[in-house]
Structure 1
Amino acid sequence: MKQLITVFLGGLVLCLSLLAPAQAEVRKDTLALRDNHPKTYVVVKGDTLWDISAMFLQSPWKWPRLWGYNQQIENPHLIYPGDVLTLKWINGEPRLVLNDGIIRLSPKAKVTPLRDAIPAIPLKDIMSFLTENIVMDSDQLTAAPYIVGSTNNRIVAGAGDRVYARGELVEQHSRQNIYRPAREYIDPITQEHLGYELFKIGDAVVGAKNDDITTLDLRKTREEVSALDRVYPSQKESIQSIFYPSSPAEAIDGRILSVLRGVRQAGQYDVVAINQGAREGLEPGHVLTIFRTGERLKDPLTKEVIRLPAEKSGQMMIFKAYEKVSYALILKATNVIAIGDEIRNPG
């Protein structure tokens, strides 16, 4: 009997020891609220889901868990200015509900345009990069048709002018875009060629095609079109405007390649390019943490040059992922963010 009790107690201790890490993990994964979070909030024009979540959560990118699992906010992207959000506890976790959970029936119908819904992130800061910037690898760039000249032997051309491109069109569409190579991306660690960034300078309509020469009539231009600008078809895919934040499944260890406004340092709502892409498993909506690269200094005692540890400096969200390069929007900056800073998984 004593041996049986001993075996039972030993098994109980073993079960509890196995359960403890799981329970600890559950506690670790609970949503952490900010100390000064409000109990209610009235949505105003210009808010984003990130902004609102940042008032309540220490990790704003976890906003789907804050309001994605209750019936009243079935689609968190359909929250409008004037809506009243109240923080409640449901099944042991904080949740945001509309109007304190009170549903008022009325014979009147409220019609609100979808365009007035609160977006996940400030789309105005990335819209041009969604439509006007692309990344090509060297083979794509080499194969893309290029401008050879315009009518009357003019060096440059603008809207309303006719230009000529040489090469086989990637797709036989009547509408084509004109792009200009801006920079080449090289991995700062491996020195691998990652691609070329191109920005759109205009759009054109195909007028005629003779052998490998295509006649293009320029419709709209942002800059003057000149020789060696590239011709590429309009993008087929629809513009993604809804983003569901999540952590990448794979371990990410990347670097910031560039700040797309032409400077070396970035802050909140700036767009950056990083040296990781779909090849590493990145997708639109993935959230990453930015670490400021540690400074180099000389040890006052040994005189050797050492590098200080990297410090967390912000968070970003991927909004466009190519094979080896991704564009991301900086959503939080607690320090200066610069080219070469490290990118890792959140948490």
Structure 2
Amino acid sequence: MAQMMYRDAVLSTIAEEMARDPSVVVLGEDVVGGMGTAGGPEAIGGIWSTSTGLFGQFGANRVIDTPISESAIIGAASGLALSGKRPVAELMFADFIGVCLDQIWNQMGKFRYMFGGKSKCPAVIRMAYGAGYNAAAQHSQSVHQILTGMPGLKVVMPSTPADVKGLLRTAIRDDDPVIFLEHKALYGMSGEVPDDPDFMIPFGHARLTRAGQDVTIVSSGLLLGFCEAVADKLAAEGIGCDVIDLRTTSPLDEEAILDSVEVTGRLVVVDEAPPRCGLAADLCALVSNKAFASLKAPPEAVTPPHTPIPFARELESAYLPSVDKIEAGVRKVLGWR
């Protein structure tokens, strides 16, 4: 296996799929140039460097710099998908979905259903999400709970470079619209990536990253690593934790969560989105409804407070879930009587 950074796994997978399938096209703000560059094969490929070199390799007809208009980007991607292309559209920040929510929610997500299964919309919408860079309330949000609640969309949240590779390839080859969420703080993370050019990970299959008998911890994205650190620390005390990486929130691997809770009897859900009407609340409700008889303690959610994300470094740190907060949540369900 090769060592690869998260951002490079994004880039290499897109390049491989573009080389394999001429219907794959890339579009978005600064996907050719970025940061004031003039564009061309030496351009950095956007502010996240996830499309570097694609323009030089595939040309202007398949790598399209767009205006700063999320509505235009997603509207164009919708039309491209309906007409036989496989667009990979980039929204620079997930926070901007509000500008193009009609195209995503009322159009892309409903095409197949409203046309009686006679059409398909094989579009991927990539978004950078998450806090930790002191980018304040309008550039730091986790929006997966909004998108997960929209029928017709598939929502993917990879936690490792290997999962980026396998899940993004699956997304590009899928015939339905896929929201592909990349945490900004993970772009520089390195890890092993399979060499198989057809390596794919099916949607709706969670990954068990730690195994234990005492508590089930469920998370995704950046916070998965925090959960693993807590599990490793508690293992030294003889406390065993199942750590489940959701990988996709829609479809959701309910079986993996319920099977684990039936053994451990305790659930802690860790999520970066706000708590009200969020993913953590949804998973706690799922387990309470379907595995109530197995529970030894009420499910616990570790999330930020229901407030906008602060700008100040100290306040942002206090806002976000942390290793200490996750550990406290685990100890709370362990100590419940």
The verdict on a shared fold, with TM-score over 0.5 as the criterion, is no
Query: TM-score range, shorter-chain basis?
Result: under 0.3
Between structure 1 and structure 2, the one with the greater Rg is 1
TM-score normalised to structure 1 length: 0.21
Question: Whose strand proportion is higher, 1 or 2?
Answer: 1
Structure with bigger RCO (C-alpha 8 Å, 6+ apart): 2
TM-score normalised to structure 2 length: 0.22
Question: Whose helix proportion is higher, 1 or 2?
Answer: 2
